């Protein structure tokens, strides 16, 4: 297979070529690994490449799933897998090995993908950038190497945008799938809480706010992968409303005329970067042209109380994770084993009592009920994904111990990303759609729906994709790197 043909279609298309015997899984893996060699030195997105594991899986016979033979990457945080040790974005957890495959990874494997490595994540998953010290440098955005690809699934976003794989695993506890999708010009979908399994090595992430997900180049790839992974594992503490038909089947029919509330400020009514506001307004005009009712709307709920509670829960999670690791290995924490933000999170968590933690969880639950009422007024809530275009490298590096300032300060994460966390707290589904670019950078818009209404949401995403396709919008760094690596002269789709 010619090098450029690998990127000519999405994962569904590649799986079709494998099924028709027009290409072999080994040839697709060759193409993916060639791309790692060409673009990853500049991006620093792919780690722990296990070509031997991938070749063995092909030799042993791949499952007859919807993505049989398609190269795939999992995030270096979560998705526990026997054959893929993880750093979890931290020097403290370097080369962590797992006794069993997680339920989510088992379901991913059953689709027939050829997993060959992991993608970078910030330490503990607590950041909108991916610059963990354990990887020796920041992960960069293929659209502009001076910008962040997002976090915490930043390596996944960069790898898919650069064409290494057509889709990749991620996870989302505060926007960690949607932020990279927005920053990298991709599709990202955060499903309803508990749509996918967390076990058996974890009961829940961040009081149920974290969930696995995927960054993709097409809506149908996300739909098919989510169908394959949906459903609780035995003993799951939460249960999502069952899907009626499934994500993929929902793409086969239009969503109907919807009431769409458009918010072009942050949820507190504050102005945001003009490009992000215009992205939402532009999407609103597109949706009106498709026959939907679009009106200005700002969701009323205790957003500040929610984010403070979220920050407390995440700090407690970081403290538990680090202290469990230290206790397990029976030796003290060494200097440099965790980064400054993690040290600050632990110090902040020490100020929170058990009762305080439960109060924070209670606030999150109350917020979910407030956000449920929002969808009495509209079917879909439309906003930007971010309040600014992709940040520059270094702005959100984990170099300060002021954890609270890092999250909530005037230049902190919440001002940069004020939208995504709302739907982790509420458990409602939300998607990032790449419909807008500003000065050559992707600026995503977010669509959110009522709890359990994933199918209507993804049907709308599919309608938007058909009306304004984004598949052929590709970052310039990808082509420059390929030319540098010796693949000049081949046809490129732009």
How would you label 45-58 residue by residue, b for 16+ Cβ within 10 Å and e otherwise? bbbbbbeebbeebe
What count of Cα atoms within 13 Å lies in the side-chain half-sphere of residue 357?
16
Instruction: Determine contact, residues 36/49, Cβ cutoff 8 Å.
Output: yes
Residue 486 has what pLDDT?
A: 61
Nearest to 121 by CA among 70, 169, 57: 169
DSSP annotation string for 223-280 = HHHHHHH-SPPTT-S--PPPPSS-HHHHTTS---S-EEEE--S-TTS----HHHHHHH
DSSP E strands in 94-134: the ranges are: 114-119
CB atoms within 10 A of CB 334: 10
Gap between the Cα atoms of 206 and 314, Å rounded: 6
Residue 254 has what pLDDT?
A: 92
CA distances from 182 to 100, 354, 362, 392, 455 (A): 33, 36, 30, 15, 21
152 cis-preceded (ω within 30 degrees of 0): yes
Residue 494 has what pLDDT?
A: 30
Give the model confidence (pLDDT) of 31-47 as tens digits.
Answer: 999 999 999 999 999 99
What tokens were used for 113? 């993908």
What tokens were used for 174? 């505060």
Which residues does 110 contact at the CB level (< 8 Å), separation at least 6?
63, 65, 228
pLDDT along the chain (494 residues), means of 10: 76 98 96 96 97 98 98 98 97 96 98 98 96 97 97 98 98 98 98 97 93 98 98 94 97 96 98 98 98 98 98 97 90 92 98 98 98 98 98 97 97 98 98 98 98 98 98 81 54 34
The pTM (predicted TM-score) of the whole model is 0.96
Residue 493 has what pLDDT?
A: 32
Residue 491 has what pLDDT?
A: 36
Residue 294 has what pLDDT?
A: 98
Q: All domains of the chain, ordered by start, with CATH? A: 3-484 (3.90.1300.10)
Which residues are tagged catalytic? Answer: 75, 152, 176
Gap between the Cα atoms of 115 and 57, Å rounded: 9
What tokens were used for 494? 């732009």
Residue found by looking up tokens 């033979």 in the block: 69
DSSP annotation string for 354-387 = HHHHHHHHHHHHHHHHHHHHHHHH-SEEEEES-S
Gap between the Cα atoms of 205 and 152, Å rounded: 14
| Strand pairing category for 259-262 and 71-75 | unpaired
Instruction: Determine contact, residues 371/261, Cβ cutoff 8 Å.
Output: no
Instruction: Determine contact, residues 61/156, Cβ cutoff 8 Å.
Output: no
How would you label 450-479 residue by residue, b for 16+ Cβ within 10 Å and e otherwise? bbbbbbbbbbbbbbbbeebebbeebbebbb
Nearest to 43 by CA among 312, 289, 393: 393
What count of Cα atoms within 13 Å lies in the side-chain half-sphere of residue 485?
20
Sheet holding 46-47, edge to edge: 46-47, 114-119, 71-75
CA distances from 121 to 140, 146, 222, 277 (A): 12, 18, 20, 28
Nearest to 395 by CA among 411, 410, 407: 411
Is residue 294 classed as helix, strand or coil in its secondary structure? strand
Nearest to 157 by CA among 136, 134, 137, 176: 176
């Amino acid at each position: 297979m010619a090098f450029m043909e690998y990127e000519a279609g999405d994962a569904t298309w590649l799986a079709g070529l494998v099924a028709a015997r027009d290409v072999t899984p080994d040839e697709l893996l060759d193409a993916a690994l060639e791309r790692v060699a060409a673009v990853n030195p500049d991006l620093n997105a792919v780690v722990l490449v296990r070509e031997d594991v991938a070749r063995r899986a092909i030799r042993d016979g791949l499952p007859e799933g919807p993505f049989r033979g398609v190269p795939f990457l999992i995030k270096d945080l979560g998705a526990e897998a026997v054959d893929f040790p993880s750093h979890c974005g931290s020097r403290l957890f370097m080369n962590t090995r797992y006794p069993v495959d997680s339920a989510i990874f088992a379901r991913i494997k059953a689709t027939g993908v050829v997993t060959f490595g992991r993608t970078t994540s910030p330490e503990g998953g607590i950041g909108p950038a991916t610059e963990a010290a354990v990887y020796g440098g920041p992960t960069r955005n293929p659209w502009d190497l001076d910008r962040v690809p997002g976090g915490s699934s930043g390596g996944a976003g960069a790898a898919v945008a650069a064409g290494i794989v057509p889709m990749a695993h991620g996870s989302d506890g505060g926007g960690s799938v949607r932020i990279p999708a927005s920053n990298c010009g991709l599709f990202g979908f955060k499903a309803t809480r508990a749509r996918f399994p967390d076990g058996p090595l974890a009961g829940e992430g961040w009081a149920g706010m974290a969930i696995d997900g995927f960054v993709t180049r097409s809506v149908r790839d996300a739909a098919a992968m989510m169908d394959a992974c949906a459903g609780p594992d035995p003993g799951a503490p939460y249960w999502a409303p069952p899907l009626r038909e499934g994500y993929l089947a929902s793409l086969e029919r239009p969503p109907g005329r919807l009431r769409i509330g458009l918010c072009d400020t942050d949820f507190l009514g504050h102005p945001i970067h003009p490009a992000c506001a215009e992205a939402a307004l532009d999407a609103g005009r597109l949706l009106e042209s498709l026959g939907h009712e679009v009106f200005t709307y700002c969701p009323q709920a205790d957003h500040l109380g929610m984010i403070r509670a979220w920050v407390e829960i995440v700090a407690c999670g970081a403290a538990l994770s680090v202290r469990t690791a230290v206790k397990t290995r029976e030796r003290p924490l060494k200097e440099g084993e965790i980064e400054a933000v993690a040290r600050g999170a632990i110090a902040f968590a020490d100020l929170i009592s058990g009762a305080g933690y439960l109060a924070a969880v209670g606030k999150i639950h109350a917020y979910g009920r407030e956000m449920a009422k929002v969808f009495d007024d509209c079917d879909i809530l439309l906003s930007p994904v971010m309040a600014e275009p992709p940040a520059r490298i270094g702005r959100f590096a984990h170099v300060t111990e002021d954890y609270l300032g890092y999250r909530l300060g005037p230049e902190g994460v919440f001002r940069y990303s004020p939208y995504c966390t709302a739907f982790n707290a509420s458990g409602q589904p939300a998607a990032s759609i790449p419909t807008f670019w500003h000065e050559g950078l992707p600026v995503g818009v977010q669509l959110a729906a009522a709890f359990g209404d994933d199918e209507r949401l993804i049907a709308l995403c599919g309608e938007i994709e058909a009306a304004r396709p984004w598949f052929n919008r590709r970052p310039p760094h990808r082509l420059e790197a390929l030319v540098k690596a010796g693949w000049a002269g081949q046809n490129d789709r732009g």
